[in-house]
A = this chain, B = another copy of it.
Amino acid sequence: MNEEFKVTPWDVTGKVDYSKLIQEFGTEPIDDKLLERWRRITGSVPVAMQRKIFFSHRDLNWLLDKYEQGEKFVLYTGRGPSGHTHLGHLLPWIFTKYLQDTFDAPLYFQMTDDEKFLNKDELAMKDALGYTYDNTLDVIALGFDPKKTRIFSDVEYSKTLYRISLEVAKRVTFSTARAVFGFDNSTNIGMIFITSMQSSPAFLPSVEARKNVPVLIPQAIDQDPHFRITRDVAPKMGYYKPAAIHCTFLPSLGGSDKMSASKPESAVYTTDDPKTARKKILSAFTGGRVSIEEQKKMGGVPGVCAVFQYYYYLFEEDREKLNQREQKCVRGEVMCGECKQELADRVVRFLEKHQENREKAKDKVQDFIVSDYSALYDRLKKPEDKKEAAKYKKAMKEYYSTRDGDRIAIGKTKELEDK
């Protein structure tokens, strides 16, 4: 790993050199030829690919071959629910929504609450499950098709996932896992296993269809190590290797790193109220000069400017307008304050709309979430006596429920309660 930056599934630091990352991870760059093919098949190239926000892939040409031969693929992506969702998280999900719409593809969306629980000392299980619910609202708010989308918590879907993950785990040695993830003696034994659970949904479509189903995993590039393992074991399990498409990280408002949950001011969260969001944008690091005079004379530097990056990644889809903004900055024709105010307006508009959809999502959770059933459920259905039923209801409610997330696990018992 390069000394100036570090990219692992749990830690991104330094200024990431994405070309070097392609070499180090051994992925393929998305080149013009591939973009041309994409345009030929789908009719257009999305902005995120034009701008190389999605810049790297594995086996995309193979996937498109399959697609052209009539083998439809399934999308698989996910989220580690250790806190609220920020705009950087939305980036690959928005792209995944585009993929679902364009290719009419089912989506399996995994909430790795087991992994986050294992990896964060201070994170309790209830809180991880609570964030699963919280983050699920953001996914749903983006407009995925409930008929084609399945969102699940690893903990709540473990009857389905664990069995597949055993097939993965049997084929991965400790030395492989250590080489890929850098484990040491103090790593807990859950973290050593957990990549198996992250592989599992890549094989679930094939398990369910009882035949090989191609899978595409849109993801931020830091997740690639997991899927290197998935791809390694796939042929040994008799399945296709999943294809992957990787995006870069939305830069921090404070500079060039990935947004970080440990510095809440470095990112805009979907749960931020408009005032907070505006304040964060107005305090962002820019490519401006020390004084207005100097900026008018020398121009700004969009290349290091977090505000410009926000336009580039999410808030200026029009190529011509983005160019104009860049040129005006370089020529000293626009000051940072104005540029930030305009971005703040756009971010707030986006947030208001998203938060409205997020509220509506609360009534749609049942249409998206799948979770397995505890055997206790069986006893609830056929209680031998009322006292026993009451006991199990209480146990199930308290143990399997989550802070805000009652709907996920407990929805199942609602109908019983009502009886």
Contact = CB atoms under 8 A, between A and B. Distances in A.
Contacts of A163: 125, 155, 158
Contacts of A374: 159-160, 372-373
Nearest to A121: B170
Interface stretch (A173-181, A303-311, A324-332): A173-181
Q: How large is the interface on A (under 10, 10 to 19, 20 to 34, 35 or more residues)?
A: 35 or more
A207 B376 CA distance: 12
A190 B170 contact: yes
Contacts of A376: 160, 208
Contacts of A69: none
Nearest to A154: B162
A200 B374 CA distance: 15
A373 B371 CA distance: 9
A175 B377 CA distance: 38
Contacts of A208: 376, 395, 399
Copies in the complex: 2
A375 B160 contact: yes
A193 B186 contact: no
Interface string A287-307: 000000000000000000000
A322 interface: no
Interface of A: 114, 117-118, 125, 152, 155-160, 162-163, 165-167, 169-175, 177-178, 183-193, 195-196, 207-210, 370-378, 394-395, 398-399
